[in-house]
Amino acid sequence: MSTFQPLLPHDLLWGLSAAALPIDAPAWAFEAVGLGHPVVVRRARVAAGLVAVGVRGQSRDQRYATHMKLEDVQRRVRPEALIAMTPHADWPALRALQQIRPVMNALGLPWGVAGGAGFELASGVPVLHADSDLDLILRTPDLLDRQHAARLIDQLAGAVCRIDLQLQTPFGAVALREWAGSSRQVLLKAEDGARLVDNPWLAQAAAA
């Protein structure tokens, strides 16, 4: 697969074969990959020519971290490609997506669907249930001030299910709820691990 854009966390990839999994991978991971389910790009440093991915099973505790060769990637779906899809199911998370679409579009920033909702919309594999959250990402190359973050929390509060939104900064990801809160430091999830930072948009946050 030719990738003109770099692979980013939360992208869904097809092409990992069961034979490429480590021999000690759980049985459910072999089953999921064998069924042709996509894997999700995760944050981790890997060798050149590889991408860190996670295999998703049917239950919340079934998550397996591994990697795949870039040359094996046959298809990629980004979270942004899922925001306008018409769902075939009627779970609260998918109804919430319809509700909050105008709010998110009004931000003027790229955003997308991740987590179980993104996985189900992209693959057609049913993983959602009545208590599933709606996981979103918002790409924020520049600082989103805390007051703006708090207003966005308020705007999303009326949705029919809980919404977990991650701000994707140039140096990692931070939860919108944390950034909108009162704590001086917030948890930044970066490629080389997670750390507490004052400002997730500063380069030193990633190098600390």
Q: Which of 11, 24, 131, 133 is the catalytic position?
A: 133
| 145 has catalytic annotation | no
- Give 191 or 140, the one with higher predicted confidence: 140
Band of pLDDT at residue 75, cut at 50, 70 and 90? very high
Average pLDDT over residues 170-181: 96
Q: Which of 72, 131, 135, 142 is the catalytic position?
A: 135
Band of pLDDT at residue 204, cut at 50, 70 and 90? low
| 154 has catalytic annotation | no
pLDDT (tens digit per residue) in 99-138:
999 999 999 999 999 999 999 999 999 999 999 999 999 9
Mean pLDDT, the chain, rounded, equals: 92
Band of pLDDT at residue 205, cut at 50, 70 and 90? low
CA distance 12 to 39: 6
Sheet with 111-114, edge to edge strand ranges: 111-114, 134-139, 163-169, 172-175, 186-190, 193-197
Range with the poorest average pLDDT among 9-13, 55-59, 177-181:
55-59
Helical axes 92-105 vs 115-123, angle rounded to 10°: 100
